[in-house]
Chains A and B, each alone.
Chain A
Amino acid sequence: MLSLGSGGAKQPPKASFVSYVTPEEINPEKEPPKKERYPDLLPGEVVFCSASPILKYTQDELSQRGVFGTLVCTNFRVSFISDEVQVEDTIQHFKNKLYGENDIPLMCVDNIYGGYDDKKKLITCPLLKNKCPSKIIIHCKDLRVFQYCLTYTDEKDARKIFQGIVHHCLESKSLKCVFAFSYNANNAEMQRKGRTVMFDSIDDWTQEMKRTKGVCRLVAENQSFELSQRLPQYFFVPANVTEEDFQNARKFNGKGLPIWCWSHHTGCALFKTAALPLMQEDTIPQAYMEKMLNAVAQNYLYSVKTEDLSDTLPSLQEVQLSYTKFKQFFLIDNSTEFWMSDVKWFSSLENAGWLDIIRQCLQKAVEVVECLEKENTNVLIMEEEGSDLCCVISSLVQLMLDPYYRTLTGFQSLVQKEWIAGGHNFQDRCNHLHHKDKEHLQTPVFLLFLECVWQLLHQHSPAFQFSETYLTVLSDSVHVPVFSTFLFNSVQQKVSMMTAESPQTQRGPLNCPTVWDWSVQFDCRAQEFFINPLYTDKLRVDKLTKKSHRPKHTRQLSLPSSAFKTPSKKGFFKEETDSLKKMLRVKRLSRWMLSPDASPQASTSEFYEAWLRRPLDYHGVLLPLLDGPAVRVWMQRYLRWIPEVQICGGGTVAVTNRLAELQGEVRELLRRLERQCGGIDAGGPYHSDHHHLYDNVAPLPPHLLRSSVRLSSSFPFASIRNWPFKPAIPTSMLQGLIVSDPDNMADREDEYTETISLV
């Protein structure tokens, strides 16, 4: 139980381990008699077990260095507390208030490996049959890798902590054991949810309907989930859905009901639904489904296109498989492994297929966008559950079409609407509870969505108010068991858990924060990193370009008038309804196009090309580039913890710094101008308009402004240390690079002058 510093350790460090703290360096008198040090516990956090001294390997070098400290497992996290006194000048600009850089929230643990001598074994159950491993390696869902050496503490403690960690991280547990249910922070500040629309009230929904100028029928019949446990309490369906249909819907547990997502300014709208299993013999579901389709079609101009996502996108299993392969490239245990995997980097990426899945999703979203934007058709997307790829596609479509969702609150509202109210099975898809029988359900669908958003953000930075850092943090927050947002499978589950919970503690109904209350995790200054300094406010664009011609739409989605050319298909009208109905019956649920002659690919391509040709409008329709070079790896998320790839003094932070600096100057100038001219009219066009433009732009703290040199490409994630200003040099892999060379050109001399038939 003694840390090494007091001289009480049973064995001195082996020669191969170099501790940063040599025994001499610690003055035993200064340290009180050794006690295990615990982290500052959160309210409601309880320590399960702990052990010391544990050696934590620092990852950055092959020469296995480490730091001694205590390893603690609580009901919230696995935490390592270093014996080393924290040097104050490691300024943490981006400190998470809930967990530090050495803490792993239990939900965030992805895999645990036991290290036996040279071998690494995946641990699946906490029962140790034979001897305790000498090392415990933890791979996290946020892609951190921790390695602890257990050999310095005594066997009993080592066993205990090992089994404890494995038990609490990997064993299945009940939902009530999740830390959120014990977390009882003072919720005073929780009132300020910001302006994020939560879509848990009639009001939120009607507001949204009003905003998009759609005309659909509000359904309040599901208030206590009689209609379906999968659907939210309130939602919209096409106006033509009748009471009778609800009776049917109840039979199918809400499946088949077209749930309104968003209305285009022309009137057509996007709907999603959970597909109904259709038997050949059973006519009831068929009739019901046709009726639903009709209802959707009648929403606008009697047109509808259905899109069964399970037909055209990769299955959830494929998504999961691909991500499992993909993430492995970033969970790096040591330098050797890193440089090994660097050799065939691009091919490995491609083999994982993850980027291609992202491309397919974006592509599908573009197709749906075309239907809404160009053909003005209603679109009904469907899949088995109606809450996985449907969520991905519907949110992407809205992001591409509606600039509101590209603001921070807009985006959060979108996630609330499509994912939370939309009933995405977060609990099962993340397998938060580690139920063995639900392992096959695990799929990073939400992450896939964030990846797609990142591609858009990366390609069209000025269009988004939030930053890459925001997306990265959001992807991490899914695995922080404090928030109610990503904890449940459905609204129904959430409501029942939240209200029924433990009155005996006199806490009343459970009230854990939503993830959107960012102050739970970050202070104001850190939250400033969520804002994209490149974001161009709509107002500003208008002012600077002095656009005079604007279409009349209040929510104008900026299209040059040429694109508004009424498609000939619009001629579809009542008189054709009958034939259409016939068609419906004939084609039933297979995808049918309004113009069967045009193949979908060709038309989308035309639409897409036309979009490409127009000048980019960041506040209009925004489409992704899909070509090979355009779909990239989300560097910040995946590379931030790998020391080998941190570019000291490099990365985009330098650019954003410079931008923020300039914006600061402009703001300062505006302020001066205002002061100087007081009430005089002299403010000119800048006076009022530009003033608030930059108010949403957060500059970096001044001491950071000019220090890009000291920051690394991992900023703001890896804390600023005294970087060993030593370059990373590929180790001994060079041989692997030498290419097979059929012509023996490598052996040829440079002076060789024989004519060869090359370009």
Chain B
Amino acid sequence: MDKQSSAGSESPAQPPVPSRKPTRTLGGNTGSRQASVETLDSPTGSHVEWCKQLIAATLNSQVSAGLPPEVPSRDLKVFGHQPVVQMDEVPLVPGETIRATAKDVMYICPFSGALNGTLTVTDYKLYFVSLEREPYFLMDVNLGAISRLETISVQSNGENTCGMEIVCKDMRSPRFAFKKEEQSNVDVMEMLTKHAFPLSHDLSLFAFQFKEEYPMDGWKVYDPVAEYKRQGLPNESWTISKLNSNYEVCDTYPALLVIPNNIDEDDIRRVASFRAKHRIPVLSWIHPETQATIVRCSQPLVGPSDHRCKEDERYLQTIMDANAQSHKLTIFDARQSSVADTNKAKDGGYESENFYPNVELNFLDIPNIHVMRESLRKLKEVVYPTIDDQHWLSTIDGTHWLEYIRLLLAGAVRIADKLESGKSSVVVHCSDGWDRTAQLTSLAMLMLDSHYRTLRGFQVLLEKEWIGFGHKFASRVGHGDENHANSERSPLFVQFIDCVWQIMRQFPAAFEFNELFLITILDHLYSCLFGTFFCNSEKERVEQEVQSKTVSLWSYINSQAEDFTNPFYVDYQHHVLYPLASLRHLELWVSYYVRWNPRMRPQMPVHENLKELLFLRAELQRKAEELQREVLSSHSLSSSSEHNSSPSHGGPSPLHTTA
């Protein structure tokens, strides 16, 4: 009974993914469900498959013109507040314009069969409505989420039918079919190509047109000085340096850097020339009690002939000395040692324990971005569009995705433990220090510092460790770029958010934010609605004036923070969270990766239950106070001393408790 019939057959309509979107629909991926049967690994094989599907779909539509109405689904809840919207009307965000519309387009839904409807392309999204069934079917795809467009055409019934597959970055690949000759269809294709990949067509990303105004300004969330101050910096050993204010020392680093006190500027420059991409060791986090630090950098340029750099050696010594509690410095090289050796042969390398006294070098054995990309690609094959229930577990094993998550978590736990129990400072690097390094340092900081587990704190963490320190979002995501096969692309940030979700699962009360927050972040990583994840470095963002010309994702999020908060939140304060890096406690993030499958009805979130209770409590409290007042006023006459029930209980008690 679980068998998904392939598209074209009349499998019953599926329930939609209940909207995980807040009422303010923001062109995110509203509850929708889409298509495609086998994901393509070899273009030729898939084409055959695709053509068959296409022909089947067109034939099918002619045979069964009127599908029987389905039992009402909760589809409408998506647009719950405007149930009788004119369905021709496409909801637009401010600044969005419709570019092309085509009628009689068929959406080949792998879950509920083919549907005829209207396809609209705006400069921000693709929007499909089918009024064929009751309730009508809606689907939208942010153009930013599109990785590539594939079209084929087949001859069927004497007509030229064109098939279009929209391969998305967010794990789905909806397929459409339409008649090739019609002009409107040609327009749609053209506009789609143009606006899905604006950078390849001399256009700007949509965020530069987006004109929504929010009560909160998300660009103010992160102030590096304030964040360092929170950590107790500067102090006697560390200083906030403006050395890089013109991005001259390192063009992928932020303007403000925390480096050891009393280091000569020339020495810094020498260190910079000894580190790949000039990414010198800088402080990311300092332990409030032990003064042990997390320091990040790129690999040293040791090379095959074992270059040394006295300044670099001294620099690391200074970092070690800044922490009086330990006479050791631990370096975590995120790579596999064999890869590090390969790098060494090509001018890169790693710190030799011989040249760096009291340094302990550990390899964390985490594969590189190409391996991760491949792993996610396999994962997509497994989860979209259909799932093999019986072999679900082994297919998941086959993607290795969770093994890599485990490796990352294990690495971060080792780092956190080194700081917390070993009281030793830690240097983390991979090759360039912007991928695995960012993953590891931010995960370790999340474990160590409860501030980063709050809604605002997490935003700061991302702004600092990822955006500030130059994770190459533009290259890794490929915003607006049509070159989908660029090997620079890799889902490292997705992987990181997945790790956060895994920790959240293990500690359901330790985070102020909820799952929706994480999913929203990932949706807007691709959507190009907000400028938050644009560009490769702070320098580029300044040049393109991203902050003044686009809206920050945090503006949106913080303007409706209650949607993203976890009602179970208990502040764990100074407790370090050690997630278990065991596959027994890891699980595929179904509500993200498999969310397009309507069968994955998310389990009734416990939140609902709790929110109900919170609501009930608030109401009761109000009632109690009211009564109290009433009683007091009436008893003031009869001067009764009976009702002395503690008024201290009243008042809206804080939402969060403290452990």
A residues with a Cβ closer than 8 A to B are 338-339, 342-347, 349-351, 355-356, 359, 363, 366, 459-462, 534, 536, 544, 562, 601-602, 604-606, 608-610, 612-616, 625-629, 633, 635, 639, 644-645, 647-652, 654-655, 657-659, 661-663, 665-666, 668-670, 672-673, 675-677, 682, 684, 686, 690, 706-709, 713, 725-730, 734-735, 737-739, 741, 743, 745-759
B623 and A627 form a contact (CB under 8 A):
no
Q: Are B581 and A728 in contact (CB under 8 A)?
A: yes
Quick check: is B575 within 8 A (CB to CB) of the other chain?
A: yes
A contact residues around B612 at 8 Å (CB): 544
Residues of A within 8 A of B343 (CB): 749
Given contacts A347-B397, A629-B594, A650-B577, 11 further A-B contacts (CB under 8 A): A356-B390, A536-B609, A627-B389, A628-B391, A690-B616, A728-B582, A735-B365, A746-B339, A756-B485, A756-B487, A759-B484
Of A639, A659, A669, A682, the most chain B CB neighbours within 10 A belong to: A669
The answer to whether A669 touches B620 (Cβ under 8 A) is yes
* Nearest opposing residue in chain B for A730, CB measure: B410
Contacts of B390 in A (CB 8 A): 356, 628
**Residues of the B chain whose Cβ atoms lie less than 8 Å from the Cβ of A343:** 583
B367 contacts A by Cβ under 8 Å: yes
Residues of B within 8 A of A709 (CB): 570, 572, 575, 659
CB proximity to A under 8 Å, residues B490-537? 506-510
Residues of B within 8 A of A746 (CB): 336, 339, 367-368, 370-371
- On whether A650 and B506 interact (CB within 8 A), knowing A460-B604, A672-B645, A746-B371, the answer reads yes
Q: In this assembly, does B12 line the interface, its C-beta being within 8 Å of a C-beta of chain A?
A: yes
| Contact residues in B for A459 (Cβ distance below 8 Å) | 603
Q: Which of A666, A749, A756 contacts B620 (CB 8 A)?
A: A666
**Is B327 an interface residue when CB atoms closer than 8 A count as contact?**
no
Q: Give Cα distance in the complex from A157 to B486, angstroms.
A: 72
CA distance A668 to B649 in the complex (A): 10
In the complex, which of the residues B365, B510, B610 contacts A737, with contact meaning CB atoms closer than 8 Å?
A: B365
Taking CB as reference atom, which chain A residue is nearest B628? A676
B582 closest partner in A (C-beta):
A342
Q: Are B584 and A616 in contact (CB under 8 A)?
A: no
Report the tally of A-B residue pairs with Cβ distances under 8 A: 308
CB atoms of A759 and B377 under 8 A apart:
yes
Take A649-B575, A676-B645 as given contacts and tell me if A686 and B623 are in contact as well, using a CB distance cutoff of 8 Å.
yes
B15 touches A (CB below 8 Å)? yes
Nearest chain A residue, comparing its CB with the CB of B148: A759
B12 CB, min distance to chain A CBs, angstroms: 5
Q: How far is the CA of A759 from the CA of B624 in the complex (A)?
A: 60
Does A628 lie within 8 Å of B392, measured CB to CB? yes
Could you pull out 6 A-B pairs where Cβ atoms are within 8 angstroms?
A359-B389, A627-B599, A669-B624, A677-B631, A706-B658, A753-B487
Q: Are B610 and A749 within 8 A (Cβ)?
A: no
Contacts of B613 in A (CB 8 A): 659, 662-663, 666
Residues of A within 8 A of B338 (CB): 747
CB contacts (< 8 Å) of B653 on chain A: these are 665
Interchain CB contact under 8 A, A342 and B620:
no
Residues of A within 8 A of B621 (CB): 669
A694 CB, nearest partner CB in chain B, Å = 9
Is B131 part of the binding interface, using a Cβ–Cβ cutoff of 8 Å?
A: no
Kindly state the separation between the CA atoms of A658 and B649 in the bound complex, as whole angstroms.
18
- Contact between A654 and B510, CB atoms less than 8 A apart: yes
Which residues of B339-369 have CB atoms within 8 Å of chain A's CB atoms? 339, 342-343, 346, 365, 367-369
Q: Which of B389, B431, B488 has the most CB of A within 10 A?
A: B389
- The answer to whether B585 has its CB under 8 Å from any CB of chain A is yes
- What is the CA–CA distance of A669 and B413 in the complex, to the nearest angstrom? 43
- Contacting pair A707 B599 (CB below 8 A): no
Which of A627, A644, A708, A734 sits near B2, CB closer than 8 Å?
Answer: A627
Cβ-defined contact, B657 with A661, below 8 A = yes
- A345 & B365 in contact (Cβ 8 Å cutoff): no
Q: Are A759 and B371 in contact (CB under 8 A)?
A: no
Interface presence of B449 (CB below 8 A):
no
Complex Cα gap A690–B389 (Å): 42
At the interface with chain A, which of B191-199, B306-314, B398-406?
Answer: B398-406
Contacts of B488 in A (CB 8 A): 753
Kindly state the separation between the CA atoms of A327 and B126 in the bound complex, as whole angstroms. 50
A605: chain B residues at CB < 8 Å are 1-3, 12
Contact across chains for B570 and A613 when beta carbons are under 8 A apart: no
Nearest opposing residue in chain B for A356, CB measure: B390
Instruction: Choose the segment among B58-66, B204-212, B283-291, B414-422 that binds chain A (4+ C-beta atoms closer than 8 Å).
Output: B414-422
Q: How far is the CA of A662 from the CA of B606 in the complex (A)?
A: 14
Docked pose: A651 CA to B509 CA in angstroms: 9
B157 adjacent to chain A (CB < 8 Å)? no
User: Cβ of A673 and Cβ of B620 under 8 Å apart?
Assistant: yes
Say yes or no: is B247 at the interface (Cβ < 8 Å to chain A): no
Asked if B342 and A747 sit within 8 Å, CB to CB, the answer is yes
Partner pick for B387 among A461, A629, A756, CB 8 A cutoff:
A629
Chain A's nearest CB lies how many Å from the CB of B608? 9
What chain A residues lie within 8 Å of B229 (beta carbons)?
Answer: none
Pick from B392, B576, B588, B630: contact of A725, CB below 8 A.
Answer: B576
- Whether a CB of chain A sits under 8 angstroms from the CB of B217 is no
**In the docked arrangement, what's the CA distance between A208 and B30, Å?**
47
Q: Are B609 and A534 in contact (CB under 8 A)?
A: yes
8 Å CB contact of A645 from B413, B582, B599? B582
- Chain B residue numbers with a CB within 8 Å of A666 are 613, 616-617, 620
Does chain A have a CB within 8 A of B435? yes
Please list the 9 inter-chain residue pairs (A to B) with the smallest Cβ-Cβ separation, ordered nearest first.
Answer: A628-B392, A654-B509, A727-B578, A605-B1, A345-B583, A745-B370, A350-B393, A346-B393, A669-B620
- A676–B624 CB distance below 8 A: yes
- B15 and A655 within 8 A (CB): no
Determine the residue in chain A with the shortest Cβ distance to B583: A345
Q: How far is the CA of A351 from the CA of B394 in the complex (A)?
A: 9
A750 to B366, CA, bound (A): 13
Q: CB-nearest residue of chain B relative to A613?
A: B15
What residues on B are CB-neighbors of A645 within 8 Å? 580, 582, 584-585
Produce 1/0 per residue, B471-496, CB < 8 A to A: 00000000000011111100000000
Q: B1 near A649 (CB under 8 angstroms)? A: no
A647 close to B393 (CB less than 8 A): no
Q: Are A673 and B485 in contact (CB under 8 A)?
A: no
B248 interfacial by beta-carbon distance below 8 Å = no
Mark interface residues in B595-628 (1 if CB within 8 Å of A CB, else 0): 0000111011010011011101101110110011
State which of B507, B600, B609 has its C-beta within 8 Å of the C-beta of A627. Answer: B600
Using A601-B1, A730-B581 as known contacts, say yes or no to A672 and B624 having CB atoms under 8 A apart: yes
Cross-interface CB contact of B609 among A659, A668, A750, cutoff 8 Å: A659
